[in-house]
Amino acid sequence: MMEVDFRNVTKKYGRTEALRELTLNLAGDKIIGILGRNGAGKSSALQIAAGHLKPSAGDVSMLGENPFNSLLVSANTILVHEGMAFPPALRLRAILAELERAYPAFDKKLAKSLLDHFGIPDHAFHIQLSKGMKNTFNMVAGIAARTPLTMFDEPLNGMDAGVRSDLLKVLLKEYIAHPRMILLSGHQLEGMEELFEEVVILHHGRLLHHGNADEFKEGFVRISGPESEVRRAASEVQVLELHETLPGMAEAIIMVRPGTTLFMNEGLGLKSTSVSLGDAYVAMTRKKGGIDRVYADATDGR
Ligand SMILES: Nc1ncnc2c1ncn2[C@@H]1O[C@H](COP(=O)(O)OP(=O)(O)OP(=O)(O)O)[C@@H](O)[C@H]1O
């Protein structure tokens, strides 16, 4: 069974601590979302799992090996990211041939058909592709590699909506046909959240949450209605975010204990609705007061 284990992993770049004593165990063939705001440490964690980066302290193991400079890990892992460097002298078809050599289960026919579908000619050079096309090529390579651990770091950047939804469909089909552990990182989820079975939330280099994606989402509710009623209802629970929507109206994102039911007094104009995974983790990692407070303080409430 695929297992990636981080024990007290710290990663420092000079004085910046990108990961702070991260302890995290990922196990099994699952699609796992690695979420966090800008600079949370997502890329650092994925690069360490792939063996591209060495932790400053702590232990990492994948398939029972330390990934750093491990041949076993590199043959069984692909990390797809925007900065993937392919030799500039190679055309895409030559890159596919290299990938086929590097990854025993690489499906070149699938990769070629997908590139064809997305209108990416295989005689082109990687460097000539647009940003969205580069990311599409990289993601196709990652899907077709069929490695037991497949990681995508913000894979959908720059892609148009049609390409994005096609690639997510293919990813799901491929995962069902050839199960593997897939880690997908992002701050903007752009449809990926539908695929997550588990989520990991990093915040300032620390683990904020790891668990089942649906259960995580169900731990949040949005209540909206007249501001005084929203404030009154919110005073009894843990509120992550409360803001005015229209004059006199407000909405709040609150945390609820799984399995509890929230009774809304509809006679008072209160409504409760579900919260998307993206809104839930953003609310959870937001600074107190949020941008409204920053703006009000900066402008003295003018
Ligand atoms: N090569 C580097 N040199 C110096 N600092 C770095 C380097 N790479 C990352 N950092 C710093 O480490 C922290 C974590 O960065 P990381 O890229 O892991 O976060 P991230 O969650 O992937 O962010 P984003 O969503 O913005 O890509 C940030 O403060 C970043 O500035």
Residues comprising the chain, all counted: 302
Which residue has a Cα nearest atom 31 of ligand 1? 39
Residue 294: the pLDDT is 65
Q: Is the CB of 219 under 6 A from ligand 1?
A: no
DSSP 125: B
Reported ipTM: 0.95
Answer yes or no: is pLDDT of 234 > 70: yes
Q: How many CA atoms lie within 13 A of 139 on its CB side?
A: 31
pLDDT tens across 266-289, in order?
A: 778 888 888 999 988 888 887 665
What pLDDT is attached to residue 284? 84
**At residue 51, does pLDDT exceed 90?**
yes
Average pLDDT for residues 181-201, to the nearest whole number? 92
pTM: 0.91
In the chain, count H helices and then E strands. 10, 13
Res. 292 pLDDT band, cuts 50 70 90: low
Does residue 41 have its Cβ closer than 6 Å to ligand 1?
yes
Phi, psi (degrees; rounded to nearest 5) at 50: -80, -10
User: For residue range 202-212, what is the model confidence (pLDDT) as tens digits?
Assistant: 999 999 999 99
Domains in the chain with CATH codes: 3-213 (3.40.50.300), 219-298 (3.30.70)
206 lines ligand 1 (CB under 6 A): no
How far away, in angstroms, is 289 Cα from ligand 1 center?
A: 25
Burial 188-224 (b: 16+ CB within 10 A, else e): ebbebbebbebbbbbbebbbebbeebeebbebbbbbb
